[in-house]
Structure formats: structure tokens, C-alpha cells
Amino acid sequence: MSALRDQQLASLPAGPALVVVDVQRSFADPEMIADYQPDLPAVAGAVERTAALVGAARDAGVPVVWVELGSEPDNRWRASQWLRSGDPAAPYGPGEPCVLGTPGAEWYGMAPQDDELRVVKRGYSGFLGTGLEEKLRDAGIGWVAVCGLTTECCVAATATDAFQLEFPVLIPQDAVAAYDADVNHAALESLALNVAVLTTSDELKELFSAARTEVTV
């Protein structure tokens, strides 16, 4: 590791949290994302390693925070409709992701426990209109690790807002994915330049374990 990276990790404040973003069927289930022609092994690998991180965080007593998209047909995101269709008033079609109450909104390959924090977002960032910042501060969270789907979109938006709100951010690069390998690589490069320290799921598990030791000693 470089001297800067050593210093970054050594100076992390107390109180980590694992933030899991959008690992929902609309974004992760191979049958639901087939039309995007995604890099399925990359998506599956990110889902598997995210689930493993959830287990490691729970074992270490690190809070797991679940950020999920909840699309509401009666409260459409007009800017998104404009960008995708040219018509901000367009109704949601049958392929709209994560519509509340439908299978697409369900978590995939993992699920929150009853006592874990969940926030439902309408847009990209887990902090936009959800009260997540206040909930993290009330819980004594000092830094966050952001994982899930997809790297260039909701992971990037959530990580960027966390950083701008003064939370140091780590991103386990093997526990995030985009549907295209080049897009994923470019997103990680941008995040590393501007927002986060890139890590791996194995290194993050070690950091969680160290946090548990600090609490119990």
C-alpha cells in the first residue's frame, strides 16, 4: 500500500457501517436484466461478495444499512422519464424497475433483518429525501463502505453524497458491478479520484473485524 493509503485507513474514525445499494431483483436477477445484455458473471460476483460482506458485518457488530429503490407509479420521477423517453409525463411501462409491491423491488440473494436500517429512495442516491444522514449520525456512524448495484449509477450517487456529507467512504471494488465492464472500470476510476478509497471485500472484512476488536477491548 502507498503511504497515503496507509494513512487513510489508519485514520478512519470509529463507527463503520456497510451500505448495501439496490441489490434488488430488477437490477440483479438474470431473468429480469437479460434485455440489458449485462456482464452476468460480474453482477453475480458482486451479489455474492455483497452477501458475504453482510454476513461479515453482522458477525463483527457493524451496522448494515439497506438502500433500496422504490418506484411509485403515482409519484413518477419526471426527470427520469424525460431522460429515458423524452416525455416527463410518460407513465411507467411494464419494465419499470423496482415498482413498490412487485417482485422487482424485492432484495435478491440477501435480505435485511428486522432490526437493520432500511431506506427507500425515489432516485439514485440513498441520501436524497430519505433522512439517511441523520439516521447514520444518530447511530454514531463515522465512515461507510458502499457496495451493490450499479457502480456508475446508484452506488456512485450514494457514495458521492456520503463523501460530501463528511463521511469517509470505502468501496469494495469486487462487491460492486455495472452491466458493462468498461463502464464499471471508468466509474471506479472516477470514484477513486474524487470520492472513495477503493478496497476489496477481504480487506473490508479485516477492517470490520478490527472495529469489533476496538469495541470489545
CATH number at residue 57: 3.40.50.850
Predicted confidence (pLDDT) at residue 176 exceeds the cutoff of 80: yes
pLDDT of residue 214: 55
pLDDT for 73 beyond 50:
yes
Tell whether 1 is covered by a domain: no
Does any domain span residue 4? no
The verdict on residue 29 lying in a domain is yes
Query: Is there a domain that residue 75 lies in?
Result: yes
- The whole-model pTM stands at 0.96
Residue 131 lies in a domain: yes
Whole-number Cα distances in Å, 70 to 100, 167, 174: 5, 25, 25
Q: For residue 5, what pLDDT band results from cuts at 50, 70 and 90? A: very high
pLDDT band of 47, cuts 50, 70, 90: very high
Is residue 9 one of the residues assigned to a domain?
no
Q: Could you tell me if residue 130 is inside a domain? A: yes
pLDDT at 216: 37
- Domain range spanning residue 87? 16-216
159-170 mean pLDDT: 98
Structural domains counted in the chain = 1
Q: Is residue 215's pLDDT more than 60?
A: no
pLDDT score, position 180: 98
Distances in Å between the Cα of 75 and the Cα atoms of 12, 27, 80, 130, 135 are 39, 21, 12, 15, 24
Q: Confirm whether 159 is domain-assigned.
A: yes
| For residue 217, pLDDT beyond 50 | no
Q: Are 159 and 34 in contact (CB under 8 A)?
A: no
